[in-house]
Structure 1
Amino acid sequence: MTPPIVKSYIIAFEKYKWIGLASFALVVAASTVVAVQPEPPASYIANAALTYNRPPVSFSATGSEIQQQGQELNEQVLLSDQLIEVVSAKVNVKPKTIGASVAISIPKKNPRTGQLDSTIIELKYKDSNSKRAVEVLQALMQAMVKLSGDINTGRLKAIILKINERVPQTKLELQAAERRLEQYDRRERPAILASENGSLLTAVTNSQTQQRQIKLTISGIDAQIRSLQDKLGLNVGQAYVSSALSADPILANLRSQIYQIESQIAVLRRDLRPEHPTMIQLQRQKQAAEELLQQRAAEVVGGGGTAAPLTGNVSNIRAQSNLDPARQELANQMVALQTQRETLQQQLAQQVREEARLRQVYSLIPNKQLERSRLEQEVALKKAIYDKMQAKLADAKTAEAETVTSLSIARPPTVLADTVKPKSMSVTLAVGGFMGLVIGGGVIFLLGSLEGTFKTREDIRESLKQREVARLGEIPLIPIDDLDQEAIPVIVSPDSPYLEFYEKFRSNMRRIGGKNLKVVLITSVSTSEGKTTSAYNLGIASARAGKRTLIIETDLRSPSGCSSLNVTPDPDANIEPLRYYASLSECIRLVPDVENLYILPSPGPLRQSAAILESSEMRRLMEDVRERYDLVILDTSPLSLSNDPLLIQPYSDAMIIVARPNYTQQNLLGEAIDQLVESELGLLGAVINGADIIVTLPASVEPLPASSPQEQSEAEVSVGAKNS
């Protein structure tokens, strides 16, 4: 069995064989031109080598790094355009010539060790002049050595310049960090130190001890005050007033005067009436003395009587100012104790506030320590960066004395003649012929692939399988009689071996469609795919099976092809097509050579095909034939030409698509199937027409001359859309 790719290539070869032969001829001609070319002139190759070197003694890490980097020169650097231009000006050779003639081999790194496999750089230069080859290669090596030294020096200067640019800023950042730490220490360091050495906790403990002592002292003073109050019968305020009033000599004198006046009034009251002038005079003296007593008492107490509780009653003032020296001493002692108590209360409140302040300071110590630690780390980091930069700068300046080129000449140029084996004309022509065959065959295969059509039935079969569309049958090509090239190939003879394929097609259609399948619509994607041939022969196979079968040509845009079945169409049908379809006795014809087969020829070509397909006459016709016949086959126009198949589809029970290798477009078939499936238009399956199947004819039947796919296509196209 021939593989599908071979079949595709054979089909493409029949179409594009002249293009392939032209490609073959062009390649052979080109190889012939190459074969007859004269031998090139003798040439010379100059060989030399460079090696990586290091200074004998290295005192700086920067110098070692630069020398290490100098051993990583690549071909783009060593053969840069600038270097080649410098050498070109020196040796008077074009830069393009130098770039094309020089070859360099750079040692590679070992992926395991990371070291170079070798320290030798091989250089080769090819020229027709041996002396010039040596001169150019020598100049190239000198330029590369100088370039290596310039690169190392440039790297070192760039490092020094970059460090010098960063040092001032780094120094300023270090100084700023130190100032922040210094200011913080001035402000918070004493508290942190006090917390660290325990003096802060000691101060809190001392404050608590002093508070307890003060509270004990106050308790003792309160006991003394209560004892004195019990003895005197006075509180502290009253004792203060009584002591002050009793100690004043003026108040004592006034009190004495008042006593004397009262004594006189008491003596004279027996003999004199109150209205007596003497009595009035004594009352006035007493009143004046009492007023003076009140004024003096207010002066003694102080503050207008607000400093101590002083009543305005003269008798109360006289009672409060009559303390004897012993009681007065007790009152003074009580006042002194009260003053001491108030002083201790103030000291206690001060100690409480001091303890709260110390506790607040102690609670903030961890945050202060963290902040100071952060400032210290910042200073340490800035200082480390600054010190490292200073060390790097010193190391780089030290490296200035030891930085040299990383390359040196290991082997001076030597010249060898380039011996070229003379080319063989026969070998060149043989290679050209082989390449011509490959290229010519490739062009044919490429052009065949770019057509976008299915080349073999296997390709169509795979496409249907991917879209889950049933394959109803595969029909081989039917030979065409040379005497009637315009006829559609139909199977009239019951002994034809091709009838078996259409019988399989019919049985598969019945099996998949079921018993209710009566009206089948057959269409294709485009023309020349054999849908009319499939419709006619399917009708013949159904009639041979004893089914009353009717073929309706609903492709109204093309003329009828019923003459292939020996049926003559009505020449006047296109005048009044609706009247033509309205009379079944006039439009339906019996096929004379096949029993049970009827055909309704198309009145086409018609312009208003869509209006006729959607008319009520067509609807009544389809309803009538559905009742009269066992199978109705609708032969419609291709889907890519019009929407007529979709207009007649509602009258059908299922749709069948006909595809043909080398004619059906892959993208059109895929789009048509996807649209029919998505719209749920009842796609039953597909038929592969024109398949390359070998048919064995019976010995008694003389075979007709078989036609190739191209010849059958030309015959079908010649009869118009009836052969579509």
Structure 2
Amino acid sequence: MEELLIYLKIIRKRWLSASLVFGVVFFFLGYDRSSKTVPLYRASGTIIFETKTPSITDPFALTSQTKLSNDLVLMKSDSLTKKVMRDLEFPLELEPQSLSSRLMVVNPQNTDVIELSFVDEDPEKAAEIINAWIRNYVQLDRDQNISQTRDLANFLERQIPESQKELEKTAEKIKEFKQDNRILDITAEASSTIGIISGLDSQIAELQAQLASQKSRRDALQKIFPVDSQGAIISTFVNESPVVGSLIKQIQEIRTKIEQEKIHLGNEHPQLIALQKQESVLEEQLQKYLQNIDIQRNPSSVDVEDVYQPGANQSALLAEYANLDREIASLEAKLKSLNQLIDNYRQRVDTLPNLEFEQEQLQRELNARSDLLQNLIKNYQNAQISLNSTQGNVRSAEFASVPKYPTTNRRVTYLIQGFLGGILAGSLVAYLLEQLDQGINNIEQIREYFTQPVLGKIPDFYRRKTDKITSDLPVKDNPSSPISENFRAVCASLNFMSTEEKPLKVITISSSVAKEGKSTIAANTAIAAAGIGKKVLLIEADLRKPGQKKIWKNIPQELGLSDLLHKENNSLLSDLLIPVMDNLDILLAGNSKSNPVALIGSPQMLYIIEEMKKQYDLIIIDAPPVSIAADAQILGRMSDGMLMVIRQGKVNTSMLAGTKESLIQAEVNIIGLLLNCFTSDSDNYYYYYNYSYYHDRKDENKNKLFS
């Protein structure tokens, strides 16, 4: 809200420039265009599309939203635009890009509809353009679908032989796999193998039982005959062979003799040696006979002492013992063979799951390739059928009819555009002028350079028609006016600032540049001070361009301050002082304008001020502007303080910055600011309030006089 008020103030201040810009923009942008405009007609048509989803039978199918997005771009393509232009019965003086830019294509959200519209001055022309666009797009869409279907058929035709080759390769892999692993039916083989393993387990269990039984019988016989199986076999053979028995008997007899002879004859006796040789011959004969029965044992290792010679009944038992041993060996051999066989079957069973998995993979691959081939063949057949029945993605189309009424009243639109554009342009120009204007327009700008108090705000009383002030000295000629009260308020502020320690008896009034009203303010301030009983001297120290004589008028005196400061001039100060009213004297600038700085800065000037301080209560020095020369700085240092006059619209920020720097370097005591011709809402209110107050008081006094 605050920023809006600032903009309104700127526009009110720059109303003339803003109004001029508004008028120009409104005329050309609004009025001129509206006077030349013709009505426009809008023709519209619609295209409704089929909703499709991607599938293996139609890999070119897109989702509905993606398809419509592509169609929106395709409808405004240069190729379609050129076809439309060729299809029209009338010529168009437009480029394809210009024509397509005027076509409006819209897809309402979540629909399968595209709306086309074209605006033109001729309604029949607009409708024909839309209809030509719809016809050409429908044909283009159908041609694209036929082309896509043909491409699909060609693609499928190339893929079918390759798919057949891959199918044959996979079938060959399955055949080789079965041959390498000797497989016909893995499931049947697994079932039969498990049955075989179960039968073998039963046989092994039965053989183990028989083996345990035979071993038990053999252990019982072994307790009766403490011989091993080999000894039982030999004993049985000896019992059954008279020759072997006779040889064993002879060997035993000779051995008995040898032992007896060793005792009688000694180990080296010839008879003993002969007996030993006879023993050796008999043992060799025995070994030859025993070779036929000792197949697992070296015959030379058979000791005659180990050979048991049973009787008739014992021989039968020994024969049974030997049979049991042979049967046990046979059972153990069968059991070993069965265990090895069952291990082989179990290894086969362990490999069957892996073989089954590999076979299933190959079978799945075969089925997939077979299905792919069938789908390719089916899709190829469908593609061949679709070539003769393709209608495109367009389900239906609604052609445009010739519009009967204009779309919009462009005259009102142009007038509104011109009005809004004028306001915008005028406001922008006013804002830019305000930004480019470096003039001082408010107290905030002054505060950036001077922090001294504002002792008074003097309005532009020449423009106050209600006051009817025509004099430069309103305090003298219109003492009851609000302007006069403003100057009296300045004098009151100066009285408050003056103290015994720091009295304000000499005050310099200056400004930054010329024509800021410093001379008029100095004169009226002097009159206001004299009006409150002070004896005041007004010194016109602007020797270059004096203005007090013009303000006061009817002053015949020509000599003044410059004449007094010249050494060759013997004029007395008292002769040059001009009394203009009670308690107020003026010392004019004089005639001489040569070397003003030297005159103002001379000791004589300081002497004059010191002498006048003894005679007057207040000395006001009307100094030249600070930016003109160093006169104002010199006078400011000679006085007790300086009042700076700042006029709105006359001084800018750069000048104010230079003035501040000059006064700071000269160490001038600035006691306050006087704002001249400043305008603001608060100032107007203050002024008119005072005016109303004094006007009412004046009328009241008149009524009292006539009552």
> What is the TM-score with the length of structure 1 in the denominator?
0.48
Q: Flag the structure with larger Rg.
A: 2
Q: Compute the TM-score of the two structures, normalised by the length of structure 2.
A: 0.49
